Structure 1
Amino acid sequence: MLRSSSPHTLDGVLWAKAASLAALRQYYALPKKGKPQGCESTVLAAFLLSFPQNPLNPTVLSLATGTKCLGAARLARRALLRLIYAEIGTDNPPSWLVASGTDGRWRLKDGHQLHLYITQLPCGVMPVPPSPLEVRREQLDTMANGYSDVGFVQRKPGRGDTTLLVSCFDKITRWCAVGIQGALLSHILEPLYLSTITIGQLPGGAPDGFCIESNVVKVLCARLSCLSRKFPDPFKTNKPLFFEAPIPPKEFQQTSGDIPPLTCG
């Protein structure tokens, strides 16, 4: 646990367990098709919603698995956006979104919070801030409403030649600046920011000298500090709390050593 309390002033250990249990419970409720078989493994990511009445009983809004360039976190976000589009377009909008004013926009209901759970460390987490060895880029991506940032993007390993695709951690950094809703939904939805990011522990323990606080939190803060402090309204710099969840089941565990992992298709 990195801090003594979650956004709900509850013990972070309890929250990490609650988030991981909710995500895994939803995963195991799904059909067998597409899940790892035998020695296969995968990465699970889920977006959760907590409620002020019972914050330790979060609801899973979306989840996905993935191990290739289009990782689990991005797939889970894509599913979340589809859910928002579908529910806003009905006569009975979701109870966790409320009208933001008279301009037809929506926002997250007071007291409700969004969270991300990942069974493994997101790719792209580095022990130090971006170095000159990384590729300098003029623009990571066109952000919501035409806003963009300038910074670094690292090489991402692939099955063939290395690529210059942004890593999972790059995407998380972007979500901390402009929210997870994307450019199109930004026209009708105020930015949706994550309150916590919970990551499953490594089965064999963290490598010597590695801890989430130095390898994730400090790097994220360093990246966000490079962004312009003059964010266009209603965007802001959001720094979610990070927590370590219990070791995930074997099919989600990150393998170590020289043997290539057998990933689920």
Structure 2
Amino acid sequence: MPAECANNVPGDLANLVSRLIMEKFSELTDGMTSAYARRKVLAGIVMTTGESTEGAQVICVTTGTKSINGEYMSDKGFAVNDCHAEIISRRSLLRFLYTELEKHLSDNSEVKNSSIFERREEQGGYKLKDNVFFHLYISTAPCGDSRIFSPHEKVTEEPGDRHPNRNSRGQLRTKIESGEGTIPVSSQITQTWDGILEGGRLLTMSCSDKIARWNVLGVQGKKMMINVSVINCVLACT
């Protein structure tokens, strides 16, 4: 699922995505009066059909800034390791995609035709119908390089990166258990299950790096043979 940069998204579409996510979050938190309205990062995914924004659908709204402590890890998949908002949005999207796959495989022709998927005859597997698009909204820059550099860069009329060779730029980074922010990945650090359970600080890939990985491998993951065309990233940095 390749991604387009935020500045490639038309302003009216970006505003629509932001507004729909905020309206849904307000609805879910009783007009921002619920205790759940106290959030640091808000993310969500909106689906549009064709070039028109009419009928845009909110797929999910998520919030969170926490990662699991090593002592609570599960080798049976019973625990979610990374609960940052944008990561939970992807997990929610996967659940939606599986639901749509079930529709496509239904014996009921009406249900089957309502699915957003169609079969890839030559390559096998499935793909989104040509007019279906997803748009990821994040209320702040993802942790990692995006957050470290983007909000603090001085806006100039000069194109390109003024400091492309800065040693601290473009490094893989990890969230560290009980730490603030992210740290560069060190080749000297090897995480082991036993080491984490014995008190070693758990390292989790930063959201910036995870989103970069989605650009190459797709947000659908290797177990779902789907060619998903585009997910636009809409950042509203506040």
Task: Identify which of 71, 74, 78 aligns with 2:91.
Answer: 78
Where do residues 137-176 of structure 1 align in structure 2 (5 Å cutoff)?
152-160=171-179, 164-176=203-215
Q: Which has the higher strand share?
A: 2
* Change in 2 beyond 3 A, CA 1:109/1:185: same
Identity of aligned residues (%): 26
Q: Secondary structure at the match of 1:29?
A: helix
Mapped to 1, the partners of 2:84 and 2:36 lie a distance apart of 21
Q: Give the alignment's TM-score, normalised by structure 1.
A: 0.56
Which residue matches 1:95? 115
Q: Give the alignment's TM-score, normalised by structure 2.
A: 0.62
Which residue matches 1:230? none
Q: Does 1:114 align with 2:153?
A: no
* Change in 2 beyond 3 A, CA 1:103/1:61: same
* Change in 2 beyond 3 A, CA 1:2/1:86: closer
Which residue matches 2:184? none
Which residue matches 1:20? 18
Q: Secondary structure at the match of 1:156?
A: strand
Shift of 1:37: 3.0
Which residue matches 2:28? 30
Is the 1:18–1:56 contact (alpha carbons within 8 Å) kept by the matching residues of 2? no
Shift of 1:59: 1.2
Mapped to 2, the partners of 1:185 and 1:130 lie a distance apart of 37
Mapped to 1, the partners of 2:64 and 2:126 lie a distance apart of 30
Task: Identify which of 64, 67, 73 aligns with 1:66.
Answer: 64
Greater Rg by CA: 2
- Calculate the aligned-residue CA RMSD, in Å: 3.3
Mapped to 2, the partners of 1:46 and 1:130 lie a distance apart of 33
Mapped to 2, the partners of 1:22 and 1:100 lie a distance apart of 32
* Change in 2 beyond 3 A, CA 1:38/1:82: closer
The alignment of Structure 1 onto Structure 2 pairs a total of residues equal to: 176
Shift of 1:102: 5.8
Higher RCO (CA < 8 A, seq sep 6+): 2
